[in-house]
Amino acid sequence: MTILKDLPLEERILRLKKERNAVILVHNYQLGEVQDVADFVGDSLELSQKAAKTEADVIVFCGVHFMAETAAILSPQMTVLLPDRHAGCPMANMITAEQLRRKKKELPDAAVVCYVNSTASVKAESDVCCTSSNALKVVNSIENDEILFVPDQYLGSYIAGQTDKKMHLWPGYCPTHARIHPTHILRLREEYPNAKVAVHPECRPEVIALADEVLSTSGIIRYAGREDVKELIVGTELGIIYRLKKENPGKKFITVTEQAVCPNMKLITLEKVLWSLEEMRMAVKVPEATRLKAKAAVDRMLTLV
Ligand code: 13P
Ligand code: SF4
């Protein structure tokens, strides 16, 4: 007889996942070992679309808190588990609902667009949500001429450069992407003159200005698959390299800096995925009144994309 605890972790996770009727959703920045047990690996938009559609009873969300919270907003009948309760997103915590309410009073004509990297209570105070892959489309879909964009000033300024809307930007930012500097790109362009440069829109504007493409994490993965892209300088969190290499053997991927690591994303390990399925922890829940208001902002986005 096989003793369960003697089986490899992956095998135990897969067995328990079946027993619990669970799906494992994994963000592109997660550790390779976690990506390998996923039912689906993707960017924030794709993961929220999956969460809205899945018929499982349990979602194990391998990412950061706002991502699991978005799944709980969309699918309250499901148990959404985050395998490490400390896996938060510092940018999402750079604005509170109270701060947003105050700012809205100062800007009564502005519609509020919140980046999905925000808490449920900030989403609940917003008109519409967006992700890195649909922010421009969302902003342009709004009737108001004025937009209050929270919390990412860099994504906001990237969008502001492409729209006629008057954009007010909340001064939040991603500490991981802020570690990427123009000098990193300039140096690598010299070293790899034939390489393309793709960066995430959470990068500083000076970095974005040097890129060939500005894309969400899954956008970068799709771009890397193109025939004409043989070498790619990748301006985002390093976890993405695992999937890039796995899906594109033979191509060269160059990281901009070893500093571009999101410590929160790295808190999720295989052991914690197994533990979360065993103990059914930690369940992410959103109070119903907040959830309904936040869901309206997320649903508005999902009908646009
Ligand atoms: P994506 O939606 O592009 O995957 O980005 C999420 C994120 O947190 C980037 O830092
Ligand atoms: Fe948040 Fe930045 Fe980590 Fe993405 S990479 S989860 S924005 S801290």
47 and 17, same structural domain? yes
**For residue 275, is it within any domain?**
yes
- CA–CA separation, 236 and 199 (whole Å): 6
Q: Are residues 213 and 66 in the same domain?
A: no
Q: Is the dihedral of CA 141, 146, 151, 156 positive or negative?
A: positive
| Residue 188 in contact with ligand 1 by CB distance below 6 A | no
Kindly report the CATH number assigned to the domain that includes residue 66: 3.40.50.10800
Summary count for the chain: helices (H), strands (E): 14, 12
Reported pTM: 0.96
Ligand 2 atom 1 nearest Cα: 89
> If you measure from the C-alpha of residue 250 to the centroid of ligand 1, how many angstroms do you get, rounded to a whole number?
26
The tens-digit pLDDT sequence of the chain (305 residues) is 556 778 999 999 999 999 999 999 999 999 999 999 999 999 998 999 999 999 999 999 999 999 999 999 999 999 999 999 999 999 999 999 999 999 999 999 999 999 999 999 999 999 999 999 999 999 999 999 999 999 999 999 999 999 999 999 999 999 999 999 999 999 999 999 999 999 999 999 999 999 999 999 999 999 999 999 999 999 999 999 999 999 999 999 999 999 999 999 999 999 999 999 999 999 999 999 999 999 999 999 999 87
| Dist. CA 163 → ligand 1 center (Å) | 22
Query: Candidates 65, 84, 133, 177: which one to mutate for ligand 2, based on the most atoms within 8 Å of Cβ?
Result: 177
Tell how far the Cα of 136 is from the centroid of ligand 2, in angstroms: 20
Q: Do 270 and 226 fall within a single domain?
A: no
Q: Report if residue 154 sits inside a domain.
A: yes
Rounded Cα distance, 247 and 286, in Å: 36
CA distances (Å), origin 192, targets 33, 252, 290? 30, 10, 49
- Shared domain for 139 and 211, answered yes or no, is no
> 191: domain range?
180-255
Give a yes or no: residue 260 inside a domain.
no
97 and 162 co-located in one domain? yes
The verdict on whether omega for the bond into residue 151 sits within 30 degrees of 0, i.e. cis, is yes
Q: Report the number of distinct structural domains present in the chain.
A: 3
Question: 237: Cβ below 6 Å to ligand 2?
Answer: yes
Q: Is 216 in the pocket of ligand 1 (CB under 6 A)?
A: yes
Beta carbon of 48 within 6 Å of any ligand 1 atom: no
CA of 288 to the centre of ligand 1 (A): 26
Q: How far is the CA of 63 from the centre of ligand 2 (A)?
A: 10
The answer to whether residue 108 is domain-embedded is yes
